[in-house]
Chains A and B, each alone.
Chain A
Amino acid sequence: MTPTDLHFTTIAEAARLIAARKLSLVELTETYLNRIEALDDQLDSFVTITGDRARREARAAEAEILSSGPRSKLHGIPYCLKDIFDTAGIRTTAQSKLLADNVPVTDSFCQARLSEAGGVLLGKNATWEFAHGGPSWDVLFPPARNPWNTDHSPAGSSSGSGAAVAAGFAPATMGTDTGGSIRGPAAACGIAGLKPTYGRVSRRGVIPNCFSHDHAGPLAWTTEDVALLMQIVAGHDPLDPGSADMPVPDYAAALTGDVSGLVIGVPWRWLEEELPLKAPTRAAFDAALAVYAALGAEIREVSLPTLKAYEDAKKIIAIVELFSIHEQDLRTRPELFGASLRYRIIAGGLVRAEEYVQAMRARTDLARAMQAVMGTVDVIMLPTGEPAGLLEPVPPQTLFTRSSYMTAFNVGGNPALSICSGFNDAGLPFSLQIVGRLFDEATVLRVGDAYERATPWRERRPALTARAKV
């Protein structure tokens, strides 16, 4: 390990070095803080940096590990959080002028778990306003940029989280996903990001987007690291009404590398007819399926309800719940919202109660249809999306008119992992989405990890160089 690549150390590698007492935690934390200081003016991936706290936590972790060994695989490892996770005493803004001075008094469930595990908090990551409307240039902070090409978007809404991990600013972060907000940035930035099963990870202390579809989950460079983070944040929280009281397996133990005999379902009608893939993305997806076939998996077609059916139910529910969360501010100070978010939620106040109930009924029927298909395969596989587009204003109407391959799995509640599956001619990552049965994150992670072991994509990193400071 040289000082030049210390910032690209994975959690798993760092944990091994820490256990062997071959890595200075103070040096590790300082490496990340220096890198953020030198390079984040190009990415805007952090909105708050907690340098003093991180140095304190690193020194304390180093002393504790020297005397009694590590508490967990995360002990002494730096991480960051999307700026919608409450952090006691640290500003939590959701990127919104409405929360510019919001300093929570208690930690979110996830922050509490990561802190108890001995992690070192580096800071808070940029998001889209309230994890929904963006990218925006009229909100509290500028939008994050993609480290593979800073003219491109890191997608959203966990934009800063995806950019920070890919850039080597932190090995771990937490994001949230209501319609693709973990998987989209993971895909755009070429990292691994897991939307767990609905209810698997507590959302207590997370600023809500849409209660019916909000999920919290980890992002990291590798699936193995995502598994390590899941071990810390997964589990029942009686104080989150949506939290599921289900046993949590040993996720790292599930990473056997073996997918022989596994049945993979591909929703070809989505990919060929309803929202056709572009040719290079299709070629990358075919190549990924070939890797699994060579590893002994069986690939077959599955048929699901239309993407549009999932999108309509999800978005009617989302705008009504968003309006109910923000109604007072929309009525009294609408000018403090970014235009993109305001457009997307303001009509939620005009949706009839009957339409919300119909959308909730449709959601249940669509989720049932998905679970029926999932009963016939081990995982569903498809691209997460096309490679990252340019970072530029997006017409807000597209929220209502554009489909994605991700939203259906928020409606179904199924665990869905995005991993990197190569790079296009412009050097931007391709992505692969792996969807599992409810509460079967272990299989999803096993399938993602097996692909990463069999392919060279984890060896490539974005090249960022410091600009001369004037």
Chain B
Amino acid sequence: MTEFTPTRDEIVLLARHAGLDLPPAYFDELVDAYANVRRMAARLPHNRPRGDEPAHVFTPTKFLPVRS
């Protein structure tokens, strides 16, 4: 998968979308950290046998009354 390297302006938009209105020093931290996160996300496998879906953590039996 091609690595997506966002510009600083794009990160401003992403941060705004995430509700983050950070002071400049903290924004620099975010830019640096996000570059590391992009590298990890790009390495995640996509073309592989299907694993169990995260949606399956929703199991209705968990909402039944607790048996004493």
Measuring CB to CB, which residues of chain A are less than 8 angstroms from any residue of chain B?
238-239, 241, 308-309, 311-313, 315-316, 319, 323, 327, 330-331, 334-335, 339, 342-344, 346-352, 355-365, 368, 396-397, 400-401
Known: A331-B20, A361-B51. A343 touches B66 (CB 8 A): no
Cross-chain contact A347 with B51 (CB below 8 angstroms): no
Chain A CB within 10 A, most for which of B11, B15, B43: B43
| A308 nearest in chain B by CB position | B43
Q: Determine if A241 and B15 form an interchain contact, defined as CB atoms under 8 angstroms apart.
A: no
A401 to B40, CA, bound (A): 9
Q: Check if B49 sits within 8 Å of A312, measured CB to CB.
A: no
Given A331-B20, A331-B21, A350-B14, also A316-B41 (CB < 8 A):
yes
Contact B51 A355 (CB under 8 A): no
Q: A346-B29, A356-B54, A400-B37 are in contact. List 7 more A-B contacts (CB 8 A).
A: A308-B43, A309-B45, A347-B30, A352-B41, A355-B41, A358-B45, A361-B54
Q: Given A350-B34, A361-B53, do A342 and B44 touch, yes or no (CB 8 Å)?
A: no
In the complex, 20 of the A-B residue pairs with CB atoms within 8 angstroms, ordered by the A residue number, are A238-B66, A312-B44, A313-B44, A319-B37, A335-B23, A342-B29, A346-B20, A346-B26, A346-B30, A347-B37, A349-B18, A350-B30, A356-B54, A358-B44, A358-B46, A365-B51, A397-B36, A400-B37, A400-B39, A400-B40
Q: How far, in Å, is B65 (CB) from chain A's closest CB?
A: 10
Across the A-B interface, give the 7 residue pairs with the lowest CB-CB distance, nearest first. Answer: A349-B18, A400-B36, A360-B54, A364-B51, A347-B33, A361-B51, A365-B51
Check A365–B20 contact: CB distance below 8 A: no
Question: How long is the Cα–Cα vector from A315 to B18 in the complex, in angstroms?
Answer: 19
From A319, A347, A348, A359, give the contact of B44 (CB < 8 A).
A359
Q: Which residues of B contact A365 (CB under 8 A)?
A: 45, 48-49, 51
List B41-68 residues whose CB lies under 8 Å from chain A: 41, 43-46, 48-54, 62, 66
Query: Inside 8 A of B19's CB, which chain A residues have their CB?
Result: 327, 331, 349
Interface of A is mostly: helix
Q: Which residue of B lies closest to A348 (CB)?
A: B37
Contact among A327, A343, A346, A362 for B51, CB-based, below 8 A: A362
Q: Which of A339, A349, A364, A400 contacts B20, CB < 8 Å? A: A349
Chain B positions 1 through 43: 1 when the CB is less than 8 Å from some CB of chain A, otherwise 0? 0000000000100110011111100100110111011011101
Report yes or no: B26 in contact with A351, Cβ–Cβ below 8 A: no
CA–CA, A86 to B40, complex, Å? 33
Q: Are A355 and B29 in contact (CB under 8 A)?
A: no
Contact status A312-B46, CB under 8 Å: no
User: Is there an interface contact between B51 and A368, defined as CB atoms closer than 8 Å?
Assistant: yes
B20 CB, min distance to chain A CBs, angstroms: 6
Q: Is the CB of A343 within 8 A of B32?
A: yes
Residue from the list B29, B37, B52 in contact with A350, Cβ < 8 A: B37
Contacts of A311 in B (CB 8 A): 40
In the complex, what distance in Å separates the CA atom of A17 from the CA atom of B68? Answer: 37
The CA of A342 and the CA of B39, in the complex, are separated in Å by 19
**With the chains together, A216 CA to B22 CA distance in Å?**
34
Given contacts A362-B51, A365-B49, contact A346 B33 (CB under 8 A): yes
Let me know if B21 and A316 touch, CB within 8 A. Answer: no
| Chain A residues in 8 Å Cβ range of B15 | 349-350
Nearest A-chain residue to B59, judged by Cβ? A241
A368 to B50, CA, bound (A): 12
Query: Given the interface contacts A331-B19, A331-B21, does A241 sit within 8 Å of B54 by beta carbon?
Result: no
Q: A414 CA to B66 CA in the complex, in Å?
A: 27
Residues of A within 8 A of B66 (CB): 238-239
The CA-CA distance from A311 to B43 in the complex, in Å, is 10
* Interchain nearest-CB distance for B48 vs A (Å): 6
Shortest B31–chain A CB gap in Å is 9
Which among A308, A330, A350 is the interface contact of B11 at CB below 8 angstroms? A350
CB distance from B62 to the nearest CB of A (A): 6
* Complex contacts, B26 vs chain A, CB 8 Å: 334, 342, 346
Q: Which residues of A contact B52 (CB under 8 A)?
A: 361, 364
Q: Which residue of B lies closest to A364 (CB)?
A: B51
Contacts of A309 in B (CB 8 A): 43, 45
Asked whether A401 and B36 contact (CB < 8 A) given A331-B21, A349-B15, A360-B54, the answer is yes
Give the residues in chain B near A364, CB-CB below 8 Å.
51-52
| Docked pose: A109 CA to B31 CA in angstroms | 39
Nearest Cβ on chain B to A198's Cβ, whole angstroms: 13
Q: For residue B48, which residues in chain A have a CB less than 8 angstroms away from its CB?
A: 365
* In the complex, chain B residues whose CB is within 8 Å of the CB of A359: 41, 44
Is A334's CB under 8 angstroms from B34's CB? Answer: no
Q: Shortest CB–CB separation between residue B67 and chain A, in angstroms?
A: 8
CB <8 Å contact, A362 and B45: yes
